[in-house]
Chains A and B, each alone.
Chain A
Amino acid sequence: MLDRGNIQTSEALVSIESLRVEFDTDGGVVVGVEDVSFSIMPRETVCVVGESGSGKSVTSLSLMRLVEFGGGQIARGSLRLTRPDGEVVDLARADPNFMRRIRGNEIGMIFQEPMTSLNPVFTIERQLTDGLAVHKGLRRDEARARAIQLLKSVRIPEPERRLTQYPHELSGGMRQRVVIAMAVACEPRLLIADEPTTALDVTIQAEILALIDRLKRENGMAVLFITHDMAVVAQMADRVVVMYRGRIVEQGPVTQIFEHPREDYTRMLLAAVPKLGEMRGTIAPEPMRTLDAKPRPAAPEASPKVKREALLEVKNLSTRFPVKGGVLRRTIANVHAVEDVSFSLNVGETLSLVGESGCGKSTCGRSILRLVEAHAGEIWLNGWEIRKLGAPELRAARREMQMIFQDPFASLNPYRRLRDQVAEPLVNFGLASGGELDDRIAKLFDRVELPRSFLRRYPHELSGGQRQRVAIARAIAPNPKLVIADEAVSALDVSVQAQVLNLLMELQADLGLSFLFISHDMAVVERISHHVGVMYLGRIVELGPRSAVLEDPRHPYTKALLSAVPIADPRNRRIHEKPNASLIPSPIFPPGHKPQRSTYDEVAPGHYVLQ
């Protein structure tokens, strides 16, 4: 069951004991991690999992002694590493010269952001050969040959051509492959991966995870994998370390953690993760189980036989962005962000638009609100054709449709009090004033379960989840019929995400709201939707009731997307590499290009597949 390979010795490769890391801040000493002890055996994958602030990154940075560069200090504890010759050293006491011999050589590290992990002014060859020259003393031609070998081992197509390219010429997934190649260049015995796939699309993530797994087996490496995603843990880990607020909560073999968690926090974490497939057989959205003592929240109604009326109808919507270039800044091409999209959303229901980055789902939402002007098509809401409205009528129409944005930190004005921001739509539309306004705002805060003392606060005083609740309060303030949630839970910790999803479902049940839920997370979409639309390159490739699209996918892209989603079940591992690294093409066409109409097959009642 556990892929342990051949273990030569039972001695640990890395042994961390009683680690305590402190940070010096204006407000005094902040403890990053306290009393952290665990070990990593050779050739094993240890996943450190936790939410933001848990200390998982600090732990790995301490191992590499990189935490000092971020203002941290190892106050106590030991970090023992067994070197290839058998000698055991305590990295916590090592001097900088010694650490330089370790980093990149015996321990490799990959970081979260492939966009910024590579130096934009160095060619790929330079990035790869630097480490080789320093640690292995290879000559230029030797290093170049090794670099090509490395690129081949990470399955980058056309490796010779890539050597002369710069990072900005590669896609995110390819950049992460280069970063991995750099990290394993000197054949380290331990690879530290700090959230390496969090910023990547789910299909790319699946490939990168498979790549790391294969390299681990081929090179006999151990992997310290840091993540917040329990599904990734289930697919990758041999052993799991659960962290919370700087301390280890629980650790053990992966099957034990998933099937017999001992600690409440672990149980809560496992319960809060939406698992793709657990909604089989149901039709309506269902709230997530949270382990606090709250009674089970109300669920939105199922819509099986009752023919609901349509609230929003989108017909043949197309949105394009011009690409300007040349000396005269003329339009040299167009990005067809949304291409001939049609769907309808019923009263009191949720339609989710799913897809990977660049598929056009966010632009679709913005076009409906006319935050961005569409190029063609009709949008019918409440008897209005939204695209044809003049400015004053559009303002009136905006009462009925509101939006919740992805980034809870940036969607609130840092200089305005929260009560003023929630009051803004009410004030703009003249819906309330004076005492009645104060009353309504207070009630809205109650509704989203925020204490009334928060009314007078500023955004920076709240956590991400709390800010998102404020954003929800602002969105529902004018009593809209439609709320567009643009990746509204993507930036939240998993436990907070579960609570916010439940809140949204409650509001739908109570207020009869309709949601257009835009997301890339299939498991979340499965939880919350009545209907699902899958988007690719600006078009809807499959559309239908949630159970139909997710349980009986017909379009090849939908199938690929669903098969790439990691399953949160350690006994059901399906990491495998596909032969070619996939490249998502981009929908850029020359100015006169006339695209084809989207035509659909109705494979089942209400279930449409693009031809």
Chain B
Amino acid sequence: MKRFISPKGIIGLALIILVILAAVLAPLVLPADFATRMSMSARLRPPSAAHWLGTDQLGRDLLYRVMLGGQTSLKIAGAAVVMSVILGLPIGLIAGYYRGHVDNLLMRLVDTLLSFPVLLLALTISAMLGPSLPNTIIAIGVAFSPFIARIIRGEALRVAQMPYVEAARAAGTNDLQMVLRHILPNIMPPIIVQATLSLAFAILAEAGLSFLGLGTQPPQSSWGLMIQASRDYLDVAPWTALVPGAAVAVTVLGLNMSGDILRDVFDPRAN
């Protein structure tokens, strides 16, 4: 029983670890006053020895900005995905396990949410709540939860029909024990895959929200804000957009590539 680890997965994991390290180490590595250190003489400089990735429109070093921005983006995306699972998992489980009228009711609620384009929904919620970090997390979390609920419901439906669930019922297992011991472990793989994909989308969603002014607010930085700020300078200083854009792309790529490995970690059959 050897575990087959693909090169793709290793690269993916490496990328993510790189990104996370950069975000985590940022406050330790950066000079204390970087956030406010602006240099009007050093505005919009291309990459050079002094500034490895160049500077933005206020003279701030892009490397430092993108590292710290990563912190915000990853925090929001991670928390949003966790929130979407917390909201979507119980709904999907109950709908899939109990079926019938309960399923109908819950799924119609989910359908209502699904009928909105995701970003628009997140925007609306964010606008209603007001722009702030927690509210951004809530907005993205709620907007993503119907997808999780749908997937979990489908898987729960499938697993609830399996003979081992019937066998457990014959052995006296009650509903709560059934869900915890038998249904949940068997639906983990698709949840994990969906969660990694959602992380990628959540980063993009945060970038989109910030771009539109509803997500992260300055002076806090995030990748989305950086992209938004660079709009006016694209023709003279394209690197101001490329740097945060590349950061988003690298993270999303890493997440997608390592999704399979993360799923296999939890599967006893792959070990």
In chain B, positions 157-201 with a C-beta closer than 8 Å to chain A are: 162-164, 166-174, 177, 181-182, 185-186, 188
Q: Contact check, A416 vs B172: say whether CB atoms are below 8 A apart.
A: no
Residues on the B chain within 8 Å of A398, using CB: 170-172
Q: Contact check, A405 vs B166: say whether CB atoms are below 8 A apart.
A: yes
Residues on the A chain within 8 Å of B166, using CB: 371, 405, 411
Interface string of A386-415 (1 = CB under 8 A from B): 000000000100110111011100111111
With A413-B186, A415-B268 in contact, is A371–B169 under 8 Å at CB?
A: yes
Bound Cα distance from A429 to B174, whole angstroms = 11
Residues on the A chain within 8 Å of B1, using CB: 461
Q: Which of A26, A403, A410, A413 contacts B170 (CB under 8 A)?
A: A403
Residues on the B chain within 8 Å of A416, using CB: 181-182, 185
Q: Which of A395, A424, A458 contacts B268 (CB under 8 A)?
A: A458
> Which of under 10, 10 to 19, 20 to 34, or 35 or more describes the interface residues of A?
20 to 34
Distance from A369 Cβ to chain B, minimum over Cβ atoms (Å): 6
Bound Cα distance from A429 to B185, whole angstroms = 22
Q: Contact check, B164 vs A412: say whether CB atoms are below 8 A apart.
A: yes
Bound Cα distance from A412 to B166, whole angstroms = 10
Q: B2 at interface (Cβ–Cβ under 8 A)?
A: yes
Q: Which of B2, B172, B186 has the largest number of chain A CB atoms within 10 A?
A: B172
Q: Which of A27, A401, A460, A478 contacts B269 (CB under 8 A)?
A: A460
With A371-B166, A407-B163 in contact, is A425–B182 under 8 Å at CB?
A: no
With A458-B269, A460-B269 in contact, is A424–B171 under 8 Å at CB?
A: yes
Bound Cα distance from A428 to B168, whole angstroms = 10
Residue of A at shortest CB range from B173? A428
Distance from A319 Cβ to chain B, minimum over Cβ atoms (Å): 15
Residues on the A chain within 8 Å of B171, using CB: 398, 402, 424-425, 428, 474, 478
Q: Which of B167, B188, B268 contacts A471 (CB under 8 A)?
A: B167
Q: Contact check, A425 vs B172: say whether CB atoms are below 8 A apart.
A: yes
Residue of B at shortest CB range from A26? B4
Distance from B6 Cβ to chain A, minimum over Cβ atoms (Å): 11
With A407-B163, A415-B186 in contact, is A424–B168 under 8 Å at CB?
A: yes
Residue of A at shortest CB range from B181? A416
Bound Cα distance from A312 to B174, whole angstroms = 25
In chain B, positions 190-231 with a C-beta closer than 8 Å to chain A are: none
Q: Contact check, B163 vs A411: say whether CB atoms are below 8 A apart.
A: yes
Distance from A193 Cβ to chain B, minimum over Cβ atoms (Å): 30
Q: Which of A371, A414, A429, A471 contacts B172 (CB under 8 A)?
A: A429
Q: Contact check, B167 vs A474: say whether CB atoms are below 8 A apart.
A: yes
Distance from A441 Cβ to chain B, minimum over Cβ atoms (Å): 14
Q: Which of B2, B164, B172, B186 contacts A411 (CB under 8 A)?
A: B164
Bound Cα distance from A474 to B171, whole angstroms = 8
Q: Contact check, B172 vs A395: say whether CB atoms are below 8 A apart.
A: yes
Residues on the B chain within 8 Å of A369, using CB: 170
Distance from B98 Cβ to chain A, minimum over Cβ atoms (Å): 15
Distance from A520 Cβ to chain B, minimum over Cβ atoms (Å): 18
Residue of B at shortest CB range from A398? B172
Residue of A at shortest CB range from B267? A415
Distance from A55 Cβ to chain B, minimum over Cβ atoms (Å): 23
Residues on the A chain within 8 Å of B181, using CB: 413, 416, 424
Q: Is the interface of B mostly helix, strand, loop or mixed?
A: helix
In chain B, positions 229-271 with a C-beta closer than 8 Å to chain A are: 268-269
Distance from B152 Cβ to chain A, minimum over Cβ atoms (Å): 16
Distance from A557 Cβ to chain B, minimum over Cβ atoms (Å): 29
Bound Cα distance from A403 to B165, whole angstroms = 12
In chain A, positions 448-466 with a C-beta closer than 8 Å to chain B are: 458, 460-461
Q: Contact check, B2 vs A27: say whether CB atoms are below 8 A apart.
A: yes
Residues on the A chain within 8 Å of B4, using CB: 26
Residues on the B chain within 8 Å of A405, using CB: 163, 166-167
Q: Which of A27, A410, A425 contacts B164 (CB under 8 A)?
A: A410
Interface string of A359-371 (1 = CB under 8 A from B): 0000000000101
Residues on the B chain within 8 Å of A429, using CB: 172
Bound Cα distance from A401 to B171, whole angstroms = 9
Q: Contact check, B186 vs A414: say whether CB atoms are below 8 A apart.
A: yes
Distance from B87 Cβ to chain A, minimum over Cβ atoms (Å): 24
Q: Which of B2, B167, B173, B268 contacts A414 (CB under 8 A)?
A: B268
Residues on the A chain within 8 Å of B268, using CB: 414-415, 458, 460
Q: Which of B170, B186, B269 contacts A402 (CB under 8 A)?
A: B170
Residues on the A chain within 8 Å of B173, using CB: 424, 428
Bound Cα distance from A371 to B171, whole angstroms = 11
Residues on the B chain within 8 Å of A460, using CB: 268-269
Bound Cα distance from A429 to B181, whole angstroms = 16
Q: Contact check, B185 vs A415: say whether CB atoms are below 8 A apart.
A: yes
Q: Which of A410, A424, A478 contacts B162 (CB under 8 A)?
A: A410
Bound Cα distance from A403 to B185, whole angstroms = 23
Residue of B at shortest CB range from A429? B172
In chain B, positions 121-153 with a C-beta closer than 8 Å to chain A are: none
Residues on the B chain within 8 Å of A458, using CB: 268-269
Q: Contact check, A414 vs B269: say whether CB atoms are below 8 A apart.
A: yes
Bound Cα distance from A460 to B271, whole angstroms = 11
Residues on the B chain within 8 Å of A425, using CB: 171-172
Bound Cα distance from A461 to B271, whole angstroms = 11
Residue of A at shortest CB range from B169? A371
Residues on the B chain within 8 Å of A401, using CB: 170
Bound Cα distance from A461 to B168, whole angstroms = 20
Q: Contact check, A403 vs B2: say whether CB atoms are below 8 A apart.
A: no
Interface string of A8-51 (1 = CB under 8 A from B): 00000000000000000011000000000000000000000000
In the complex, given contacts A413-B181, A428-B171, what are 4 additional A-B residue pairs having Cβ atoms less than 8 angstroms apart?
A371-B169, A411-B163, A415-B268, A478-B171
Q: Lowest 7 CB-CB distances: which A-B pairs, in order?
A: A428-B172, A415-B185, A425-B171, A411-B163, A410-B163, A413-B164, A458-B268
B interface residues with partner A (beta carbon < 8 Å): 1-2, 4, 162-164, 166-174, 177, 181-182, 185-186, 188, 268-269
User: What are 7 A-B residue pairs whose CB atoms fall within 8 Å in the complex?
Assistant: A410-B164, A413-B181, A413-B182, A424-B171, A425-B172, A460-B268, A478-B171
